[in-house]
Structure formats: C-alpha cells, structure tokens
Amino acid sequence: MRRPDGEPVSGDFAVEERPLPSVGEGQLLVRNLYMSVDPSMRGRLERTEKHYTHNFTPGSPLDGRALGVVEESRCSSVPAGAFVRHQLGWRERAVLDVADTDGADRIDPRLAPLPTWLGLLGQTGFTAYVGLTGIAALHPGDTVFVSAAAGAVGTAAGQFARLLGADRVIGTAGGPDKCALLVKEFGYDAAADYRAEPVREALARLAPEGIDVYFDNVGGEQLAAALHALRTGGRVALCGMMSQFGGERRPVDINQLIQAVLKRLTLRGFIVRDHEDLRPEFEQRVADWLTDGRITARETVVDGLENAAGALLSLLGGGNVGKMLVRLGDSD
Amino acid sequence: MRRPDGEPVSGDFAVEERPLPSVGEGQLLVRNLYMSVDPSMRGRLERTEKHYTHNFTPGSPLDGRALGVVEESRCSSVPAGAFVRHQLGWRERAVLDVADTDGADRIDPRLAPLPTWLGLLGQTGFTAYVGLTGIAALHPGDTVFVSAAAGAVGTAAGQFARLLGADRVIGTAGGPDKCALLVKEFGYDAAADYRAEPVREALARLAPEGIDVYFDNVGGEQLAAALHALRTGGRVALCGMMSQFGGERRPVDINQLIQAVLKRLTLRGFIVRDHEDLRPEFEQRVADWLTDGRITARETVVDGLENAAGALLSLLGGGNVGKMLVRLGDSD
C-alpha cells in the first residue's frame, strides 16, 4: 500500500484479513458494532507528522473510535457481553488492553442508543461542548456562527449553543438541503449555503449586528468572513481547517487577522482530549437533554467494513448529515 | 488635500497655519515639545474606518500623542509651566480640555527625561508591557520572539521580557546593524535579519526547541513562521500587522492557523487602552527599572514640524531605532 498522493481515492484503501493476537491477562476480545468516521482522519493520511496524534502507516490498519461488545474477557471489571468504546476501529474484532488510556471505556446502552455513544455523547459531542464552553466561553445572549454546521460536530454545536443560552445561532453548509435541515432539526436560526453566496455577505445579511462566537471547522474564506463579522471581544474556537485540503482553493491572506487587533478578538485552537475535566458536566448535561428530547441525534450510517473507505471519502466530500458511522456485522 | 492612494508620500502632507481657539474655562494652552510618530498612523491614513479610533480627514490636522508645557492655564489643577501628555500632536500649540479623557495627563519631568514619557513610560512601553503580561501571559522561563524588534515597541518588549523572567528573547529586524543593536543594547539573546533569511529558518536556528510567546507587530510571513515555531500551549499577542501595507508582499495562507489547532495556541489581538488597569504596576516597574539603569531608553529624534511627515515616512520604511519622535521648537 502507498500513502495517498493528495486527495485520497478508494484505491488507497483495502480490506485485508489479519490474525488476531491471543487475549492476554487484563485484555478483552471485542466485536465492533459501530465505528466512527472522522474528518481528522484526512490529516492522518498525510506524511507530515502531527503533534497530537500519530499518522496512519501504509500497509497497517487504520484506527479510530469504535464501539463493540465484549466477546471474551480476561479482565474482572468488564464481563463478556459488556459494551465498550475504544480506539481500535477500522476492523471487525480487536483485542484491547483495559489498562491503557482510552483502552476501553464501558458504556451503558440503556442510557442512549449505541450510535449516540460515538456521536452526541462521544468525542464528537464533547468536541462541540468543549469548543463552545471551555474555548469560546459562550455567554447567554451571544450570537454564534458555526461552519460545517451540518457535520457531526456542527449539528451538535448548533443545538448545544442554543441550549447553553445563545441568542442567535447561524450555520453554513454545502447546499440548500443541508441548510434547510439546520433550521428544521438542529437548532439553527438561519443557515447559508457557502457554495451559493460569499460567507461574508451571508453573515452581513443573517447577523447584521455581528457575531460573538465563531466555531471554526473549516478555516479559509469562512474564517476570514467570521473575523470581519465578529464584534469587539469576540472569540473563535479553532477546531479544524478542512479547507486546507481543498486543492484549488484561493488562499486567504493571514493578515485578515488585523481584525483580531482592531476588535480584540481571541482565537484558540484546541484538541478535545486536553479537556477531560469538562467531561462529567458534558455527559450529565447531554444525557439530560437527550432524555428530555431537547436534542436530536442524527447519524449517517453506512453498512459493512468493505464500505468504510467509501464512507470516509463521502464524509470528506460533504456527503453526510450529522455523525458518519459504519455499522459492522449484525449489530442490531 | 487628498487621502494618500496606497503608500503615503511627502506630497500628501503640508504644514499650514491655523488660528488657535481661545482658552476657555477648564482649558490649557500648551506648547508642544515632543510628539510621537507611530506605525498605527499608517492605518489611520486609509479610508476604511477602524473600530477603535478615527481616521485622519484630508485637509484637517493629524493628531497623536504629544508632550508639551502649559503656557496659559484656566484650570486650577494644572498651573502654567507644568508638563502634560495629551493627544493633540502634529501641531506646535494646542488648546486642551483637562476634563476630556486623554485630555491632559500631567507628568513629572524629574522622574524621567521628557522623551521617555512618550516612549518607555508612555503608550509605547505600555503596549509592550500589556502584550507580554496581560495578553501573552509571559511566564518565567519562556522563550519569547518579537518581530519589528528594533522599533519602539520591540525595543521595549525585548527588555521587558528579559526583566520579566524570559529565558530566551529572540527578535527580528531589517538589516545587520539593527540586529547587532538588539543584542548589544536591548536585551535580546539573538536577532535575525528578516530580509536576509526566511524567518522560519531563523527561528529553527535560534530557537531549535521552539518558542512560547510571540509578540507580533508585523503579521504575514513572520506570523506564519512563529505559528510553526510555537510550542504546545503557546501564546501570540497580536499588536499590529505592518506587513499588511507592503504592496508586493506574497500573501501567506490563513490556514497556517491549523498550527493553532495542532498545538492548542491562543492568539489575542489587543488595543492598549483597554488595559488601563495594568498602568499603575507598569509605571512603577518601568520607573524602577529606569532608575536602576536596567533598561535603555532609545529614541530617534527628528527636529521641526516641517520634518514630521518625513519622520513618519522614514518610520514606515523602517528608518528608526526605538521610539520615533519629533522635537518642536526650542524644547531643550
């Protein structure tokens, strides 16, 4: 196998059989039921090493968040039949070390459906929560703008922002159907199609008095537009820059950051795993909101490991609404 | 008079005689002795209005920080002969309202020489202090990088960073002479000539283990280089972006901010006047440092109002070391 040269294509991926290691003391054999497909995987296909994760290695399995059922346990705290969330997705079965950080996190399937544990109640929802609260310091009454609003993090961020007291929530997405869904299902007051209208004009139209918080998933033109729309003292949570992977994109000048000087803006990049201190309040609040029916969990589910690479490519092309998951085997 | 079309030239400025208003109750007639020439004036020549100040109007006098002596007082708290700092520079005499914010700030010429009150002890030094402490949260042991390090704010920032406990202070400036001065006089451990070497390479050479704080005066390529050099948790104080005015500059892509995500960086723009709460500690510390001979006040002084426009153009071209001032009349 080779590393993708620029945009990944389906020929860059293959399903292969590999022997499983035997299950040692303190380990679990898990059959995966769902696995998470994340935009951050795009960066991990690149050659350049990141500071916060490892990149994928050609010829070795991918990995990522998954949820499975324990088939065999050699660990007294996690019995066979339990459901665990872990990092060894992109395979049907995995042997996990319970003692590892992120090794296996047992979840209660009575509290929420299994997919939700990878979506609104998982890293996806937690990313939206941390970005809004810990990074952008959302205040009640704020006007909030979210890009890639129809994606997994965006659909969570819009709903959370509303429930956390935002006065007005605006999102951008690709295409009129997604925009309609944002308003209908995901707590957005207004949405704009970034393919149909310059985002700077859309923000001037939808938030004529400016925005206070920008949850950035894309960078580029939308970040620049937000810098112009932000009010004095505005905050930007920098969560990812998917537009960095768009080949023919016209670059946006970094000196648009002069807006940050003129308006005393704060921009903060974050990686969700630095903020585990916020997880208890996150789980409590989101579980309550789910129980009360105040938020909508929405997943785009693809069946079968053989379709997983296609699911990733579809995600990177914007083919999902909400969380993109692959369902493995006879999960239901 | 017309507004400059792009880069200002000397023909855009003129010295004119205008009648002075009479001195009313609560007002002072001040003869200006020194006036400050600031990079921020460049932006005020543009047509686009800023959020934090007013732009200059063609045909009307410029304004800016100045220091003068009271010739006539109709205010009991400020006698004739007192020295006051105020906003009505770019003229030889001014009538000031003492009750106005920034109307007239009386200074004690025994504590420091007059030019220092516009430099290290003035907005210039205060800008450096606020950026390092209030914005970038400088910790003892940090490695600090300052761009435009030979300028007024940069020469203050290097020295302050050192005295505030920075482990290593690195600066960039234009040309070998300025770089030599940074190390010799202004507390810098090392300096790089941004015209002679890509700043990203200079930082890799001078701070191979990375930097913790970047005090940004220029934006553009130097900001991008700093984003790459910053360590996890690094902080950027965004003070100004002089490179926005460089016509033929190659734009730098805003998506270099992906570094802020990967390394959880914080970038904060600031305007010094939002931070008056820090002024008492600033004045106390800098006055002590001056008294102890631990810092060097350095000014580039030009004589005469007729040479003031030239001083501004020289500043914009990098012709100064330290604070750029115009001396008016027989100040000494």
| Per-residue pLDDT reduced to its tens digit, B29-66 | 999 999 999 988 888 888 776 656 788 988 889 999 99
For residue B19, the distance in angstroms to the closest alpha carbon of chain A comes to: 34
A318 by DSSP, 3-state: which? coil
Out of B219, B255, B267, name the one closest to residue A244 (CB). Answer: B255
User: Which residues neighbour A287 within 8 Å (Cβ) at sequence distance 6 or greater?
Assistant: A111, A112, A121
Contacts of B51 in chain A (CB under 8 A): 232, 262-263
Instruction: Pick B257's closest partner by Cβ from A50, A238, A261.
Output: A238
Which positions ≥6 away from B273 have C-beta within 8 Å? B52
B247 pLDDT more than 80? no
The CATH topology of domain A10-119+298-327 is Quinone Oxidoreductase; Chain A, domain 1 (3.90.180)
Q: Report the SS3 class of residue B22.
A: coil
Q: B250: nearest CA in chain A?
A: A253
The position carrying tokens 């007294």 is A76
Contact list, A224 vs chain B (CB under 8 Å): 254
Task: Find how far residue B83's CA is from the centre of its chain.
Answer: 21
- pLDDT of B297 higher than 50: yes
pLDDT, tens digit, for every residue of B1-35?
678 878 899 889 999 999 999 999 999 999 999 99
Please list the residue range(s) of chain A that carry CATH number 3.40.50.720: 123-273
Per-residue pLDDT, averaged over B95-123, amounts to: 89
Residue B31, both tokens? 């003869």
- Cβ proximity of B146 and B159 under 8 Å: no
Candidates B51, B264, B267; nearest CB to A271: B264
What value of ipTM does the predicted structure carry?
0.89
Contact list, B268 vs chain A (CB under 8 Å): 260, 264-267
Chain A contact set for B258 (CB, 8 A): 219, 240-241, 244
Interface contact A253-B255, CB threshold 8 A: no
**Other C-beta atoms lying within 10 Å of the C-beta of residue B154:** 28
What does the block give as tokens for A324?
Answer: 């993109």
- What is d(CA B234, CA B256) in angstroms, rounded to the nearest whole number? 15
Cβ pair B254:A256 closer than 8 A: yes
pLDDT in tens, chain A (332 residues): 678 878 899 889 999 999 999 999 999 999 999 999 998 888 888 877 665 678 898 888 999 999 999 999 999 999 999 999 999 999 999 999 988 766 789 999 988 999 999 999 999 999 999 999 999 999 999 999 999 999 999 999 999 999 999 999 999 999 999 999 999 999 999 999 999 999 999 999 999 999 999 999 999 999 999 999 999 999 999 999 887 776 667 789 999 999 999 999 999 999 999 999 999 999 999 999 999 999 989 889 999 999 999 999 998 888 888 899 999 976 44
Residues with Cβ within 8 Å of residue A330, at least 6 apart in sequence = none
Question: Where are the CATH 3.90.180.10 domain residues in chain B?
Answer: 10-119+299-327
- Please, where in chain A does CATH 3.90.180.10 lie? 10-119+298-327
Q: Which of A52, A258, A267 sits opposite B267 (nearest CB)?
A: A267
Q: Which residues of B touch A219 (CB under 8 A)?
A: 254-255, 257-258
Domain B123-273 fold:
Rossmann fold (3.40.50)
Interface of A with B (CB under 8 A): 50-52, 219-220, 223-224, 232, 238-241, 243-244, 251-271, 274
Nearest to A233 by CA among B271, B186, B113: B271
Of B219, B261, B274, the CB nearest to A255: B219
Query: How crowded is the C-beta side of B184, counted as CA atoms within 13 Å?
Result: 7
The most distant pair of C-alpha atoms in chain A lies apart, rounded to whole Å, by: 61
Q: What is the mean pLDDT of residues B118-141?
A: 97
Tokens standing for residue A332: 């239901």
Residue B287 pLDDT greater than 90, yes or no:
yes
Closest Cα in chain B to A223: B254
Q: Could you tell me the fold of the domain covering B10-119+299-327?
A: Quinone Oxidoreductase; Chain A, domain 1 (3.90.180)
What is the structure's pLDDT at B221? 95
Which of A156, A257, A92, A219 is CA-nearest to residue B244? A257
Q: Angle at Cα B20 formed by Cα B17 and Cα B21, nearest 5°?
A: 150
CB contact under 8 A, A269 and B254: no
Residue B246 banded pLDDT, cuts 50, 70, 90: low
- In B, minimum Cα distance to A40 occurs at B262
Asked whether the beta carbons of residue B255 and residue A261 sit closer than 8 angstroms, the reply is no
**Choice among A13-22, B307-316, B323-332 with the minimum mean pLDDT:** B323-332
Report the distance separating Cα B119 and Cα B113, nearest Å.
Answer: 10
Q: What is the pLDDT of residue A332?
A: 47
The beta-carbon neighbor of B241 closest among A50, A243, A261 is A261
Chain A residues lying within 8 Å of B243, measured CB to CB: 255
The band of B140, judged by pLDDT with boundaries at 50, 70 and 90, is very high
